Amino acid sequence: MNQVAILETVKSFFQREHGHFINGLSHPGKGALRQVVNPATAQQVAHVHDGCVEDVEAAMTAAQQAFTGSWAATSALARGNLLLKLADAMERHREELAQIETLCSGKTIVLSRGLEVDQAVAFLRYFAGWAGKICGETTDISIPAAQGEKLRGYTLREPLGVVVGIIPWNFSILISIWKMAAALVCGCTVVLKPSEYTPLTMLRVAQLATEVGFPAGAINVVNGDGRLLGPMLIEHPFCAKVTFTGSVPTGRGVGNSASALAKPVTLELGGKNAALFLDDMTVEEMVNGIIEAGYLNQGQVCASAERFYLPSGKLDEVLEKLSQRLAQFRVASPLDEACQIGPLANKAHLDKVLGMVNQAREEGDEIVYGGCSPDQPGYYFLPTVVKVRSENSMMMREETFGPVGSFLAYDDEEKALAMVNNSPFGLAASVWTHNLHKAMRYSERMQAGIVWINMHTLLDPALPFGGIKGSGNGREFGSAFINDYTRLKSVMMRY
Ligand code: NAD
């Protein structure tokens, strides 16, 4: 076991009084104290004050003043440079940020370093590269001009204003950075609302941003109960756009509230992502693919696959080998560098996953492996393999967001493809085969915002990401984000 030692800086950070980060300063606030619990031990590690109407007002006002003042006066290239400096600072504080994340979310320290911090740094640098390149276009005007005058039109890409970013607990740094960096490079300012379960990482990132030179008010963080703060933030007159990542029910409410006020809204919601394995894959390839697609971060990844379609002749052998592999996974403290299965992120989530697996068992699905918590403190749940009765099993329709793969056999590839698409959601999907012809054709027919071929889950900043159907709207990354954080103004001139 290689249990990492908690840094002194992390210990002292946890002992501080926490609340919000507003107008360039840490700001504890006066709201009720909320416990931050380490999911690996079920013990409290810190406290944070919930936000109230005064905190929301202060954060929105600071963000609006920066938007029209200091941030507007910062040139596009200087904005990009600040994003690069923040990336460097996060790299210098990699271990500190990773430990804070692991102690709040239960993510393994290896993933906190490699996925939360390193990927956040990569995305910051990607978005910094857009600085100075976000612009409109000139256009010919075709209406006739009288008496030899000439007409010319052009468009301006204008930043929207204050962006409210609402963040889930599964990637508290990375998802915040996706939204924050996109907004800032476009010239917007941000007010972030982290999850109640993971309120601390972005407080530290916002401090680092101020240290490297971001002007006060450009980045603000308000913590607290989303049900109270969400409406206050969305309805605030300074809120020009909402970008939300989280569950489907909450997202629908956020979408309705923003749309009712004609505010643009990006929704990155959940789903029930499918992976289709074709018969030409070996059993070992299928087992490796399933582990990659379904069990990363205990399945608490929005793009993870939860529905698996396997050829009927191979299903039982794959499930047997998969169960053997999962049984060897090291269930341990997430601070242990060899840990492969850490806890789920919070007690409510553990109860939800356990309840769904119990319901599946009662309804007649077969729990081939796992299905319960190991005998140890904390919110652990064994990686679980469910052989479902049919396409209509609850396990093939509802997101667990946990380490639970549900498996169904097929005999006909066309019917399997129809089952993949028979879902109200469409965030992500994958097809696994050595047959290039089928890989290309099936990937084109899969109904999802992102489709992988012979891989799953990995995201790249250059490739747009977002859902279709009930999994949301809008796109992050690539050049597509520009549409979501700017508006076009048209100018026509006569000369
Ligand atoms: P959640 O919907 O419970 O909470 C998300 C955020 O919304 C939190 O900050 C919460 O405080 C806030 N919130 C709660 N009620 C609100 C309200 N009425 N108005 C405004 N904000 C409110 O989601 P979660 O449990 O934190 O995250 C897990 C879910 O997120 C899963 O369904 C997962 O699929 C989804 N997710 C999607 C993506 C994606 O990119 N599509 C990425 C990560 C997670």
pLDDT in tens, 217-264: 999 999 999 999 999 999 999 999 999 999 999 999 999 999 999 999
Helix or strand holding residue 55 (H, E):
helix 53-68
Cα 400 to middle of ligand 1, angstroms: 14
The reply to whether ligand 1 has any atom less than 6 angstroms from the CB of 306 is no
| CB neighbour class for 313 (10 Å; exposed up to 12, middle 13-18, buried from 19) | exposed
Q: Which atom of ligand 1 is nearest to the CA of 230?
A: 20
pLDDT of residue 269: 97
The reply to whether ligand 1 has any atom less than 6 angstroms from the CB of 227 is yes
Q: Yes or no: is domain 273-460 CATH 3.40.309.10? A: yes
Coil, strand or helix at 33: strand
Topology agreement, domain 8-269+471-492 and domain 273-460: no
The reply to whether ligand 1 has any atom less than 6 angstroms from the CB of 170 is yes
pLDDT of residue 434: 98
Cα 168 to middle of ligand 1, angstroms: 4
The reply to whether ligand 1 has any atom less than 6 angstroms from the CB of 169 is yes
- Per-residue exposure over 49-66, b if at least 16 CB sit within 10 Å of its own CB, e if not: bbbbeebbebbbbbbbbb
Beta pairing, strands 162-166 & 138-140: unpaired
> What does the pLDDT average to over 333-360?
98
Confidence grade of residue 428 (pLDDT, cut at 50, 70, 90): very high
Domain ranges of the chain: 8-269+471-492, 273-460
Instruction: List the residue whose alpha carbon is closest to atom 11 of ligand 1.
Output: 226
Radius of gyration of the chain from its Cα atoms, rounded to whole angstroms? 24
The reply to whether ligand 1 has any atom less than 6 angstroms from the CB of 189 is no
pLDDT of residue 147: 85
Residues with catalytic roles: 268, 302
Rounded Cα–Cα distance for residues 367 and 294 (Å): 16
> What does the pLDDT average to over 165-174?
98
Rounded Cα–Cα distance for residues 42 and 190 (Å): 32
Cα 169 to middle of ligand 1, angstroms: 7
pLDDT at 311 over 70: yes
Cα 5 to middle of ligand 1, angstroms: 31
The reply to whether ligand 1 has any atom less than 6 angstroms from the CB of 401 is yes
pLDDT of residue 146: 80
- % of the chain residues with pLDDT over 90: 97
Rounded Cα–Cα distance for residues 54 and 62 (Å): 12
Degrees, nearest 5: CA angle 16-17-18: 105
The reply to whether ligand 1 has any atom less than 6 angstroms from the CB of 268 is yes
Q: Which atom of ligand 1 is nearest to the CA of 349?
A: 25
Residue 307 forms beta bridges with which residues?
274, 406
Confidence grade of residue 1 (pLDDT, cut at 50, 70, 90): low
pLDDT at 2 over 90: no
Fold that domain 8-269+471-492 belongs to in CATH: Aldehyde Dehydrogenase; Chain A, domain 1 (3.40.605)
The reply to whether ligand 1 has any atom less than 6 angstroms from the CB of 477 is no
Cα 170 to middle of ligand 1, angstroms: 9
To test ligand 1's pocket by mutation, which of 50, 250, 404 has the most ligand atoms within 8 angstroms of CB?
A: 250
pLDDT at 460 over 70: yes
Q: Which atom of ligand 1 is nearest to the CA of 196?
A: 11
> What does the pLDDT average to over 118-129?
98
Instruction: List the end-to-end C-alpha distance of the chain, in Å, as a whole number.
Output: 75
pLDDT at 92 over 70: yes
The reply to whether ligand 1 has any atom less than 6 angstroms from the CB of 166 is yes
What is the amino acid identity at position 92? R
Cα 167 to middle of ligand 1, angstroms: 6
To test ligand 1's pocket by mutation, which of 245, 265, 475 has the most ligand atoms within 8 angstroms of CB?
A: 245
* 66-87 residue pLDDT tens: 999 999 999 999 999 999 999 9
Instruction: List the residue whose alpha carbon is closest to atom 30 of ligand 1.
Output: 246
What is the amino acid identity at position 24? G
Cα 245 to middle of ligand 1, angstroms: 5
Q: Which atom of ligand 1 is nearest to the CA of 427?
A: 41
- Per-residue exposure over 157-186, b if at least 16 CB sit within 10 Å of its own CB, e if not: bebbbbbbbbbbbbbbbbbbbbbbbbbbbb
pLDDT at 266 over 80: yes
Phi, psi of 220 (to 5 degrees): -130, 150
The reply to whether ligand 1 has any atom less than 6 angstroms from the CB of 475 is no
Cα 349 to middle of ligand 1, angstroms: 12
> What does the pLDDT average to over 90-118?
98
pLDDT at 366 over 90: yes
pLDDT of residue 145: 78
